[in-house]
């Protein structure tokens, strides 16, 4: 396994997090959102009206300023779809440091676009028992090995993987790597949208809303002890 640390990765700014509710309710379900390169915390947060109203959403801002927005992995030295594992894992360390200061929630899901999709999968790999489900939109899996991979291969948590058929940003090699990992470690719901490029829109938004609704219903049913 490659080291999960790099010395100069900046921390997340907790004041930059967008919350769907003014006060986090530990009895609710949490969805953590992570944007892609050059975006910010407002990007995926715009989808909140398409998700269950009772869901608590926390949309994070990546800590590296680039291209008028922010990045999880700086472009220098980190090819698109193939960031250096030590950088990706340092980004995950920063996200987990923020997360560990939160109250406990009934369930926690992770969602991301592009680089943020890689972050979502990497968080699940780092803490396979912590995150109930994942959503990665136009993203990829980091090319490394994690201790949690073995548990994921056993538990196969649900992951929605949406991507555009005309996505010219994420290389084919990264998509193939992600498909191979998903097939052996996740219960993946893969959707390829014929009208999309590197974007989140249209039917994909409706489909991920249904997926998240199902995850929230499942968490509620489990908490109530129903079969």
Mind listing the pLDDT tens digit for each residue in 117-164? Answer: 999 999 999 999 999 999 999 999 999 999 999 999 999 999 999 999
Contact 109, 29 (CB under 8 A): yes
**Phi, psi for residue 22 in degrees, rounded to 5:** -65, -25
pLDDT tens-digit profile of 168-200? 999 999 999 999 999 999 999 999 999 999 999
Residues with Cβ within 8 Å of residue 101, at least 6 apart in sequence: 14
pLDDT score, position 157 = 98
pLDDT score, position 215 = 97
Residues with Cβ within 8 Å of residue 154, at least 6 apart in sequence: none
pLDDT score, position 1 = 34
pLDDT tens-digit profile of 21-70? 876 676 789 999 999 999 999 999 999 999 999 999 999 999 999 999 99
Q: Is 49 exposed, middle or buried (0-12, 13-18, 19+ CB in 10 A)?
A: exposed
pTM of the model: 0.95
Domains of the chain: 14-220 (3.40.50.1820)
At what angle are helices 85-99 and 115-126 packed, to 10 degrees? 70
Question: At residue 2, does pLDDT exceed 70?
Answer: no
Taking the C-alpha atoms of residue 122 and residue 117, their distance in angstroms, rounded to an integer, is 9
């Amino acid at each position: 396994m490659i080291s999960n640390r790099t010395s100069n990765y900046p921390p997340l700014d907790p004041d930059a997090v967008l919350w769907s509710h003014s006060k986090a309710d530990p009895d609710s379900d949490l969805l953590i959102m992570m944007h892609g390169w050059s975006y910010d915390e407002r990007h995926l947060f715009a989808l909140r009206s398409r998700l269950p109203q009772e869901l608590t959403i926390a949309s994070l801002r990546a800590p590296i300023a680039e291209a008028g927005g922010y990045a999880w992995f700086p472009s220098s030295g980190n090819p698109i779809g193939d960031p250096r594992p030590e950088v990706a894992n340092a980004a995950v360390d920063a996200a987990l440091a923020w997360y560990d200061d939160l109250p406990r929630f009934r369930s926690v899901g992770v969602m991301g676009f592009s680089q943020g999709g890689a972050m979502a999968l990497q968080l699940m790999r780092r803490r396979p028992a912590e995150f109930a489900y994942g959503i990665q939109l136009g993203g990829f899996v980091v090319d490394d090995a994690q201790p949690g991979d073995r548990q994921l291969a056993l538990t196969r948590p649900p992951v929605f993987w949406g991507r555009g058929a005309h996505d010219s940003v994420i290389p084919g090699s990264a998509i193939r790597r992600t498909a191979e990992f998903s097939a052996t470690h996740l219960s993946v719901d893969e959707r390829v949208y014929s009208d999309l490029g590197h974007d989140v829109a249209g039917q994909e938004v409706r489909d991920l809303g249904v997926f998240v609704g199902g995850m929230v219903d499942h968490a509620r049913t489990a908490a109530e002890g129903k079969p």
